[in-house]
Amino acid sequence: MIQDFKVKSLFEDQVHERQQFTFNFAGDTYQGIFHDGDIQWFHPKPSTKLEEVAISDLESRVYDLITSHTDQDFTVNPMFEKQVSERHQFALNFEGVNYQGIFHNEEIQWLHPQPKQQLEKNDLLDLEAKVHDLMTNHVYQDFKVKPLFEDQVHERHQFELNHEGDNYQGIFHNEEIQWFHPQPHGNLEEDDVEELESKVYDLMTNHVEQEFQVKPLIEEQP
């Protein structure tokens, strides 16, 4: 598990802005630079201590942690709240430009300025994927988790969330979901159940593997 994750922005608010990070993993301290979705590791590099699969998993976690840190200005306002036509208006900063849009039924309707007029196709896809992730975290911010048999070999997690007005609960163990009653299969189409389970998996992964607090790399002095 990643511990004591810290971030410091370099060249802040400039075109070549990037983030320097440091954290502890499996008893070793790692540092690096994150820029344009790529990681440049300092010494000691994880490749000298970890298997390739473990490095890929570690880099994926670092990417998620950095993304969470840099997107703290993401804001959401519900529209037509608790009505059948409810949707969400969002705003975020991406590469120094402020964008806004409407998120509804997993689709994004961009307001002006539209990012497709300013970004390359790959950057636009990255931005929309980021919005989907951030919106999922916002919509399911009432997601609750309770560890069972904590610190024991058969530890697992009981979770609860609201989806489309219905409360669901279950057990998450060994990357599998055991639903309690009412089971979503009784209320949702098969595709919707698969989508819900995918979101539960993502939320549980974030909860279990990223129990961290982002801290400044250099603490402010009083």
pLDDT in tens, 63-89: 877 766 655 567 777 777 666 567 888
Consecutive H or E run containing 119: none
Integer Cα distance of 47 and 64 in angstroms: 20
Residue 61 has pLDDT above 90, yes or no: no
Q: Sheet of 107-110: strands edge to edge?
A: 75-79, 87-94, 97-104, 107-110
Integer Cα distance of 2 and 58 in angstroms: 8
Residue 210 has pLDDT above 50, yes or no: no
Beta bridge partners of residue 21, listed in sequence order: 7, 32
Consecutive H or E run containing 92: strand 87-94
Q: Phi and psi dihedrals of 104, rounded to 5?
A: -155, 130
Q: Who wins on pLDDT, 222 or 188?
A: 188
Give the ranges where the chain is alpha helix by DSSP (H). Answer: 52-70, 121-139, 190-209
Average pLDDT over residues 18-32: 89
Integer Cα distance of 6 and 22 in angstroms: 5
Percent of the chain with pLDDT over 70: 80
Average pLDDT over residues 157-175: 85
The distance in angstroms from the start CA to the end CA of the chain is 31
